[in-house]
Amino acid sequence: MKNNKNQNNRRIVSVGQIVGWIAVFVIAVLIFNKPGAKQAELDYSEFKNKVSAAEVSDLTVAPGIISGMYKNEKGEFAPFKTVRMEDPELVGQLSAAGIKYKAELDNSWVSNILFNVLWIFLLIGLWWFIFLRPQRNDGRSAMNFARSKAKMQDPSQQTVTFKDVAGCEEAKEELEDVIKFLKNPKKFQKLGGKLPKGVLLYGAPGTGKTLLAKAVAGEAGVAFFSASASEFVEMFVGVGAARVRDLFDQAKKNSPAIIFIDELDAVGRRRFAGIGGGHDEREQTLNQLLIELDGFESKQGIILMASTNRPDVLDPALIRPGRFDRHISVPAPDLKGREEILKVHAKKVKLGPDVDLKTVAKGTPGFVGADLANVVNEAAILAARADKEAVSKSDMDEAVERVIAGPQKKSRIISKKEQRIIAAHEVGHTVVARLTNHSDPVHKVTIIPRGQALGYTLQLPLEDKFLTSKSELLDKLCILLAGRAAEEIVFGEITSGASDDLNKTMAYARKMVVELGMSEKLGPIALPNGEEGEVFLGRDLSRHTIYSQELVRTIDEEIMDLIKSSYARAKDIINKNRAAFDKLVERLLEKEVVDAAEIDEILGLKPAANEDALPQPAAQEPEKEEPKAPKADKPEAQQAELF
């Protein structure tokens, strides 16, 4: 921090000096080019006539010019000037006419220097301050486009270690090899082993990939160069490749070191994906990066790390063995990981005795590290806004809902008629969700507007899930369509409030039929989806449709059958429980928020099973590489968006 402060001070001083020199230059120009009153130019003979008639005054006789005041045609005195001639009688005539005058020495050479030389020196000074002086101080200048913009951190400045990273223990274990190599490279070299040149961290946004890279540098105690991949590509051809070369040169001079490139897909996308044979600056930058990866050996003490959210779009030559040959997944944390992350972020926050971070972790499935950090921060802000001494459980619960659905909008004025429609819509979601066998338990239902939603039903799973059964997806479709079904049953009319539900329903139904093999007619097959995969223009144009018209028709029929049957099932559940449905609608209109216990009481059900009562499978040793599982989603808030 001290070095950064000194660097900022140097920049401020340099800017101040530049401004000072510019001000001097402008003042000099204004002084030497000071506009005066417009002077009439008289012939020397006319000037002599004016002298004879005593119609001139306040003369200044210089070696090359005579100036002063003369009487013009209007009888008014005005400034004039005339060229001085060799006239020995002039002084006598001026004395005889009683005209006052003064003489000036010949200083034209001084004026010429000021006008013709001084401004040149001023421009040279400005050029030196802008271009040369910064280059002497820290190696950067305005014309130095080819220098890397990577920020270097000395080992003494690095404060992030593995203690500050939680929720990704497997990734930390994989990175331990990198730390041990940087600390003791001879241990690996004596056995003939080589550490991977490149380590690729991939995962969803907010899972802590950048934080992991900083922690590796902090644990190893080596120089850390961090740069964004977008910084390499500029409008000038060849700048990106030059910056890549400069970055590796700096790292070699400060080895052992770690080079970290964030968002690698900005320059590492698959090559030759466009149309035409034009030169691509991004591809040249990628080619230089590949060359640099081949050019250094692990014994030089340089480790290249990078992060990306899209490993599927990276060029195969970049991620092959010998370059980025170690790929480390940084997934969304599980229950234990979320609890550890909350503990890390809650160190600087004063928590009340009623706050249980394990309970908060249970209520935030699918949250990544950035989401959990936001939850803790929002809770602290809410507590401070209420002038509390510590963060309470209510603050934490409200913070979780803020992250899921947005802040409350109690000031939004909604008519009684629309409130009843919203209540019926949300109770439809609630009743069907509570009465289906494979759905997540309902945590609460509310008609208080929050974010873009006019109301929502919050479901929280009892445990983290990595597999989803067909029965669960069918229940999901039924729950999504229950809001629209409730509107039709109660009011005999449908509204636009189910627009978001319908979009999600279509997406789930299509995924079941096309990708997951959950169609009775099509059987266990997965069909390529044109909406996913590579999104390159050239590759898209070369892709051919492999579906027959008959297959497309069958897919559409299966999707419609799923949606229609789920909609009919939702209506049937609501009709069979109409009395409890109407009672819950009235209770929701009265209280605006109804929790799980009250919902179960009205529906005549037992409370949802606790997680501890669920059968737990025997613990097994985790494998090094597990098959990819569907990403855990955040708890869904069924929304009535627009009415």
Q: In this structure, is residue 297 part of a structural domain?
A: yes
For residues 74 and 123, state if they share a domain.
no
Question: Tokens 């003064």 correspond to what residue?
Answer: 102
Q: In this structure, is residue 238 part of a structural domain?
A: yes
Q: State the average pLDDT over residues 218-224.
A: 85
Tell me: pLDDT of 624 over 80.
no
Q: Give the dihedral sign, CA 199/204/205/211.
A: negative
For residues 592 and 474, state if they share a domain.
yes
Mark which of 329, 346, 364 sits at the end of a domain.
Answer: 329
Q: Give the dihedral sign, CA 585/593/345/357.
A: negative
Mark which of 405, 435, 450 sits at the end of a domain.
Answer: 405
Active site residues: 426
Q: In this structure, is residue 631 part of a structural domain?
A: yes
419 contact partners, CB below 8 Å, separation of at least 6: 447, 589
Tell me the per-residue pLDDT of 502-526, one tens digit each, with 9 for 90 and over. 999 999 999 999 999 999 888 888 8
For residues 194 and 213, state if they share a domain.
yes
For residues 348 and 263, state if they share a domain.
no
Q: In this structure, is residue 394 part of a structural domain?
A: yes
For residues 186 and 324, state if they share a domain.
yes
Tell me: pLDDT of 274 over 60.
no
Tell me: pLDDT of 2 over 90.
no
For residues 312 and 246, state if they share a domain.
yes
Count Cβ atoms below 10 Å from residue 595 Cβ, excluding itself. 14
Length of the chain: 643
For residues 8 and 96, state if they share a domain.
no
For residue 131, CA distances in Å to 125, 128, 139, 361 come to 10, 6, 10, 54
Between 486 and 45, the more confident residue is: 486
Torsion of the alpha carbons at 81, 84, 87 and 88, rounded to the nearest 10: 90
For residues 182 and 256, state if they share a domain.
yes
For residues 551 and 474, state if they share a domain.
yes
For residues 129 and 17, state if they share a domain.
yes
Kindly report the backbone phi and psi dihedral angles of residue 227, in degrees, each rounded to the nearest multiple of 5, phi listed first. -150, 150
Q: In this structure, is residue 54 part of a structural domain?
A: yes
Band of the pLDDT at 616, cuts 50, 70, 90? very low
Q: Fill in the DSSP letter of residue 349.
A: S
DSSP annotation string for 406-420 = --B-TT----HHHHH
Q: State the average pLDDT over residues 221-246.
A: 76
Task: Identify the pLDDT of residue 392.
Answer: 92
Question: Tokens 């970055």 correspond to what residue?
Answer: 247
Helix (H, G, I), strand (E, B) or coil at 232: coil
Mark which of 311, 329, 347 sits at the end of a domain.
Answer: 329
Q: Fill in the DSSP letter of residue 528.
A: -
For residues 55 and 93, state if they share a domain.
yes
CATH number at residue 313: 3.40.50.300
d(CA 515, CA 11) in angstroms, rounded, equals 57
- Give the residue numbers spanning the domain of 86: 40-106
473 contact partners, CB below 8 Å, separation of at least 6: 508, 512, 516, 518
Q: In this structure, is residue 618 part of a structural domain?
A: no
For residues 494 and 394, state if they share a domain.
no
Tally of domains within the chain: 5
> What token pair was written down for 18?
């530049």
Q: In this structure, is residue 87 part of a structural domain?
A: yes
